[in-house]
């Protein structure tokens, strides 16, 4: 069988923090990867060896089926702007079932089984209801949140402005999630499994600020705003109401220390330890340099 004829893994969100890591780790394992990209301009962002396919979530099951042509596995990631998963993600799941894909790995959310209000919960329940050959990855907070979503406060104001109180978080590197996804997509024994993915160290945001201060060579402080102060600032900056609501929910969960417990799932599933935050900060320091 030629390389081009091998069944491929279709990766949604292939240019994002997690999706790009999944693509890279699958390629390292010699897999054929079809990367879903929104526009042809995104092709240049893919690593060598990945096959680009223009793709956008749609209610058109026929189009979703065509997107999976040549694939026998799917890495499913919900784009943050999509809340209506019934309209935009379920058709891809249905198409995958019609094509009899042998595995669907879904990037879910830590603690999703106790949080019926998030879209990830509904996707998990759909996959279970249709008898999909699923594997759920339920990661903790991404380290990349600090180098993307919250980057500007750190880079421009030398502060972390989040209402996490004194709570701990076992942050995880998106690259480690990619490594886990590649491992479970290429080895037997993972169907029907639900993996909670945490880092191996628990840190407060004060700890994070100290590490960033050391790595960047300037003082980064943890401002520790109240929930009301944080949400008021988001609103003043023009954040949409649904984003503000999600942020409220997220940091209430954090303050209950639900995200605090480290585990060794990354080590167990990939054979290597999870990235520590200092390693991540040194690798990504350019994000906060000015």
CA dihedral angle for residue 51, residue 54, residue 60, residue 65, rounded to 10 degrees = -10
Tokens of 277: 């935050």
pLDDT over 60 (residue 246): yes
For residues 137 and 108, the answer to whether their CB atoms sit within 8 Å is yes
pLDDT over 50 (residue 281): yes
Q: Whole-prediction pTM value?
A: 0.93
Convert the pLDDT of each residue in 257-278 to its tens digit.
Answer: 889 999 999 999 999 999 999 9
- DSSP characters over 124-171: HHHHHHTT--EEEEEE--BTHHHHTTTHHHHHHHSEE----TT-EE--
The predicted pLDDT at position 113 comes to 87
Q: What is the Cα–Cα distance from 127 to 117, expressed in whole angstroms? A: 17
Q: What is the Cα–Cα distance from 281 to 216, expressed in whole angstroms? A: 9
Q: Tell me the Ramachandran region of residue 97: left when phi exceeds 0, alpha when psi lies from -120 to 50, beta otherwise.
A: alpha
Average pLDDT over the chain reads: 94
Query: Can 3-139 and 140-172+197-261+275-290 be said to share one CATH topology?
Result: no
Q: What's the whole-number mean pLDDT along residues 230-252?
A: 89
pLDDT over 90 (residue 197): yes
* 140-172+197-261+275-290 has CATH 1.10.10.10 classification: no
Burial class (CB in 10 A: 0-12, 13-18, 19+), 207: middle
Q: What's the whole-number mean pLDDT along residues 222-249?
A: 91
The model's confidence at residue 3, banded by pLDDT at 50, 70 and 90, is low
pLDDT over 70 (residue 164): yes
pLDDT over 90 (residue 179): yes
The predicted pLDDT at position 245 comes to 84
The predicted pLDDT at position 146 comes to 97
221-222/159-160 β-pairing: parallel
Kindly list the domain boundaries of the chain, sorted by start residue.
3-139, 140-172+197-261+275-290
Convert the pLDDT of each residue in 97-131 to its tens digit.
Answer: 999 999 999 999 998 888 787 889 999 999 999 99
pLDDT over 60 (residue 1): no
The predicted pLDDT at position 2 comes to 44
Convert the pLDDT of each residue in 34-73 to its tens digit.
Answer: 999 998 889 989 999 999 999 999 999 999 999 999 999 9
Which CATH number, 3.40.30.10, 1.10.3720.10, 3.40.50.720, 3.40.250.10, labels domain 3-139? Answer: 3.40.50.720
pLDDT over 80 (residue 4): no
């Amino acid at each position: 069988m030629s390389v081009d004829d091998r069944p491929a893994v279709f990766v949604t969100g292939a240019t994002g923090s997690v999706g790009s890591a999944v693509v890279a780790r699958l390629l390292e394992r010699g897999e054929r990867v079809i990367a879903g990209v929104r526009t042809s301009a995104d092709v240049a962002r893919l690593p060598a060896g990945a096959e680009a396919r223009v793709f956008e979530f749609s209610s058109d099951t026929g189009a979703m089926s065509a997107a999976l042509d040549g694939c026998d596995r799917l890495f499913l990631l919900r784009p943050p702007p999509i809340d209506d998963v019934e309209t935009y993600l379920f058709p891809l799941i249905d198409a995958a079932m019609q094509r009899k894909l042998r595995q669907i790995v879904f990037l879910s959310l830590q603690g999703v089984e106790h949080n019926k209000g998030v879209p990830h919960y509904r996707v998990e329940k759909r996959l279970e209801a249709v008898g999909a050959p699923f594997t759920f990855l339920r990661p903790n907070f991404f380290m990349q949140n600090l180098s993307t979503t919250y980057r500007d406060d750190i880079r421009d104001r030398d502060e972390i402005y989040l209402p996490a109180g004194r709570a701990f978080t076992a942050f995880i590197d998106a690259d480690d999630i990619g490594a886990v996804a590649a491992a479970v997509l290429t080895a037997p024994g993972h169907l029907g499994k639900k993996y909670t993915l945490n880092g191996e160290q628990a840190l407060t945001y004060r700890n994070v600020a100290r590490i960033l201060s050391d790595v960047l060579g300037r003082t980064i402080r943890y401002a520790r705003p109240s929930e009301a102060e944080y949400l008021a600032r988001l609103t003043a900056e023009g954040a949409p109401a649904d984003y503000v609501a999600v942020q409220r929910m997220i940091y209430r969960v954090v303050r209950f220390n639900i995200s605090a417990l480290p585990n060794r799932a990354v080590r167990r599933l990939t054979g290597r330890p999870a990235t520590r935050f200092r390693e991540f900060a040194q690798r990504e320091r350019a994000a906060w340099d000015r």
